[in-house]
Amino acid sequence: MAHSNFHIYTVKEITLYIKNRLTSDHNLQDIWLQGEISNFVHHSSGHFYFTLKDEHSQLPCAMFRWANEDLKFKLDDGLKVLVKGSIDLYAPQGRYNFVVTEVHPKGTGELYLRFAQLKERLVKEGLFDVKYKKPIPRFPNRIGIITSPTGAAIQDILNIMRRRFPCAGVVVVPTMVQGEKAAEDIVRAIRLVNTYEHLDVAIVGRGGGSIEDLWPFNEEIVARAIFESNVPIVSAVGHETDFSISDFVADLRAATPSAAAELIVPDKKDVSRQINGFMSALLQNMRNMLMVHQKHVEGISSAIKPKLLIDNIVQYQQRTDDLTSKMTMQIEHNLKIYEGRFNALCEMLDAVSPLSTLRRGYSITLKMPEETTVDSVEAASEGDDVKVVLQDGEMKCSVKKIELNGRIMKKKILQTKEDKKEK
């Protein structure tokens, strides 16, 4: 029989193919299931193996040790639960199972699912963002308390406030803290608190209880009322391990109502110690300043005593005389230097001066009336008026005769011969 026209899969190949199809289907990942536990096995490895069933079908489940280490209750056959997980395929046996990551008892599990869905939605809307958190005043003058007037929480809060910071005023706004209408009543109380003047902060909460008892603080209307409050809200719901939606949206979360009172009011003993510390530091600074100024005054007082004052004046006079003498000597020295430089420059100028040349018997002849220098016999003609400048005066003359020296004559003769040749 020929097999060349089609592919023959191995068992491993087809198993891995099915596994990939199951694990890549988003509709089968991170889903919630409900059912009854049967065939429960707590393996020596720490893993849980059980079957989740209803009246029609059953599904093998595995919950690995890393997922069940923090489980708050014990799993056993017959327990109705709500589980979260993903469909997977166990390849060695070729069977699919449900890998569980969370498990809750049936009633509690439904509430937790509502809690998780609301929390996820409010996170996306930004109601938990830190940028919206209002600061809690360090020394509140007036505090609002929204809780049941008959519960233990109100007494714990009041006792701690009286002991720690009795000067703070308190406004108690009674409200229901459990039951079907509790959420609406809490919203009413929060809105009422926002109508009071000069209220610095408000506590919203109650003591511990079951998840059903604490559920009003997980309602969306309560979360939005806290978020919209202009008065800073401190959420104090249940015990330290309890978390509610109001804890996440409030401006500050306290583990318990008592912890809320301790968080928002300072301890008068600490404040008193801090004030005493400030007073001690202030007094010490004042003493140091007084000592500095006292020494300064003593120095001035000593300086203005008659004998010391006269001595200081004499010393300043002597210092002034010394400086004057040094300045005079320096000025005279500089003047001698500048005088020598000036005389040297004058001699240099005199050496190249025309007057110096005239004193050696020379003269300067100027043609009149232009007063142009006559530096050659060709610059004047017979009959021209000239001025002769000597070292001690001037002479006005008239040119009667011009005689040329040998060089000039030679030049004239050569020019005459050249003129004749050209003719």
Which pTM does this prediction carry? 0.49
Quick one: which of 259, 60, 37, 18 has its CA closest to 153? 259
What pLDDT score was predicted for residue 368? 84
Q: Please, which residues have CB within 8 angstroms of residue 298's CB and are 6 or more apart in sequence?
A: none
What are the angstrom distances between the C-alpha of 270 and each of 59, 157, 274?
A: 61, 19, 6
Please report, in tens digits, the pLDDT of each residue of the chain (423 residues total): 555 567 788 888 888 888 888 888 888 888 999 899 999 999 999 999 999 998 889 999 999 999 998 887 788 888 888 899 999 988 888 888 999 999 987 766 667 777 888 898 999 999 999 999 999 999 999 999 999 998 889 999 999 999 998 888 999 999 999 988 999 999 999 999 999 988 999 999 998 888 788 999 999 999 999 999 999 999 999 887 778 999 999 999 999 999 999 999 988 787 778 788 888 888 888 888 888 888 887 777 666 666 666 777 778 888 888 888 888 888 888 888 888 887 787 777 766 666 666 666 677 887 788 878 777 777 778 888 888 887 778 888 888 888 777 554 444 445 554 555 555
Q: What is the pLDDT of residue 421?
A: 57
The predicted structure's pLDDT at residue 404: 76
At the topology level, CATH places domain 135-266 in Rossmann fold (3.40.50)
Please identify, in words, the CATH class of the domain defined by 11-117.
Answer: mainly beta
Sequence ranges of the domains in the chain: 11-117, 135-266, 361-422
Q: Which residues contact 60 (CB under 8 A, 6 or more apart)?
A: 49, 51, 95, 96, 97, 98
